[in-house]
Structures are given as structure tokens and as C-alpha cells.
Amino acid sequence: MALLKDIKDNFYINLSAHYDKGEIDHIFFALTEAYLGYSKIDYLNKQNEVLEENIQQQFHEALQRLERDEPLQYVVGKAWFLGRPYEVNKSVLIPRPETEELVDLIIRDTKGQSGSLRMIDIGTGSGCIPISLKLQFPEAVVSGVDISREALEVAKKNAYRYEAAVNFMLMDILEWDSVFMNEQCYDVIVSNPPYITPDEKVAMHPNVLQYEPHMALFVEGQAPLLFYETIASFGLSHLRAGGKLYFEINKNYGTQVCDLLRKKGYKHVELIQDMQGADRIVRALLEA
């Protein structure tokens, strides 16, 4: 027989080497919500409840996965982005608050624009970026591309959940010139591409390094600006005059990304800091 409070105590004992008390609280209550539908207040009233065996097993399996440093979001199968839950698994990156800031900036910049907007997200993963944009701008034509078939399956499920009509495409953006027709133009191009270099692996938490898809995380150390260079070139051919390009960037390469865009002819190139004060977003305009 196991009481709910016994399960919680067991989490403290077994996860204390991995997380502090506040983090363990967050993890445990996320699981009680996922498995039991209980809030923190519900827990106070039900902590002496005897759990059914199948529920005990769910908590046990979750604890084992967490002890192996698997991210909580993969354990529960969802992550929150701009107030909405998105399905996630090991095929897609877990959405970050910095990416929420990126999308919020696009929304603020784009509000009030007239006409039929066309937007594309490159390296779409879970689909949280294009889905959020489509929900904000229902009349816009929004697309998302990714090289991973498995990632697109997750993105399509998330789009279906929110009834967001996003056009998803399986493709390698490094081969964009053989895929896109000349007349395919966009008002907004956004990308959170792979940008972590191999040298930065040593500072990464195991739950990121061991579980999140390396294809979406890492870029070759010899070419840290590869995707920015490629997508900027794509923009020169497929951004409408007055269109904007948005990047989430490696904080160590902000100046280099801005210089690259200016050399290609983009105007009003801006380096924007995230809420932690790190260089995180670059915005640029393609003039006529």
C-alpha cells in the first residue's frame, strides 16, 4: 500500500542528487496533474489517499526516467509554450522561454498589418512557432519546414489539436534553392536553427545532452554560422520587399550574425537581448 505522500517523499529521497527541493516540488506536482488531475491544493486534501497499483507504477516509471536525467517534459509528453501545452518527445526540442520571446516579438511587430501575410518557420520541431503565429493571425498563410520526418509528425499532431492550418514540409533548408519556386515569397521568415558548437557540450546539462535531438541542437564548430548564412541567402530570394527575418541565436555569435546580415544587404539589423540579458534574437529588414 502506498499513500500519495509516500510517493512524494520517495521523490525527494531519490532525486535530491539531481534537483533542489523547489525543482522536485515542481516535478512531483506536474506528475500528479498528469496522472491524477490534481492541483497542489488537491494534493493537500488527498495526500493520504491510497494509490491504485497502475498509478503507483506510473510514478515509479517516471521516477526511474528522471533519475536517468530524462527531461520532465518528455516524461509527461508535453511542454508549455505561450500558455498552451504542446506534445513533445525525443524527436523534437523542448520549447524554451527564449523562443516565446522570439514569437512574441514577431506578433508585436506584425499586429495591424493589412493584407494576406505569408510566414515560414525553418526548423519547426514541435511546431510551436508556426502554430502560435497561425493562431494569432488566422488569415495568414503559415508554413513550417524540418529535415526530420519524426519531428513533423509531432508538429502535425499539435497543429491538429489547435485546428491550426499550417503547411508542413519535409526538407533540408541547405538545399532550398532546389525546392522553392521563385514566386514563393514571405513577409516573415523565422528560424531557431541548430546553433550550439561542439566546444559548448561540456557546459550542457545531461538532460539536454543525452535526450534532446542533436540534429536540432548542434552545428559544426568549423561553420557556426552555417544556417544563418543559408537562411539569409534564402531570404534574399524569398522575402518580399519590406519583409522581416528573425533568428534565435547563439549568444556568443550575435555580432557575427548581425555583420553577416548587413554584408548581404539587410537593413535595420538589430541584436536583441532576452530576459536574462543574453544576446538571443536578431531582427532584420529586407528593403525594396
| Mean pLDDT of the 269-274 span | 98
Cell of 40: 497542489
Share of the chain above pLDDT 70, in %: 89
| Mean pLDDT of the 231-250 span | 95
Cell of 268: 535595420
| Mean pLDDT of the 83-91 span | 96
In this model, does residue 200 exceed pLDDT 70?
no
pLDDT tens profile 131-178: 999 999 999 999 999 999 999 999 999 999 999 999 999 998 888 877
Q: What is the DSSP letter of 95?
A: P
**Considering only 54-58, 107-111, 224-228, which range has the smallest mean pLDDT?**
224-228
- Whole-structure pTM over 0.95, yes or no? no
| Mean pLDDT of the 59-73 span | 94
Q: How confident is the model at residue 182 (pLDDT cuts 50, 70, 90)?
A: confident
Q: Specify whether the CB–CB gap between 135 and 102 falls below 8 A.
A: no
Q: Let me know the angle formed at the C-alpha of 119 by 136 and 229, rounded to the nearest 5 degrees.
A: 135
> pLDDT value at position 16?
93
Q: Which residues contact 249 (CB under 8 A, 6 or more apart)?
A: 195, 228, 257, 279, 280, 281, 282
Q: How confident is the model at residue 205 (pLDDT cuts 50, 70, 90)?
A: low
pLDDT tens profile 249-262: 988 889 999 999 99
Q: Specify whether the CB–CB gap between 123 and 193 falls below 8 A.
A: yes
Cα distance between residue 251 and residue 98, in whole Å: 11
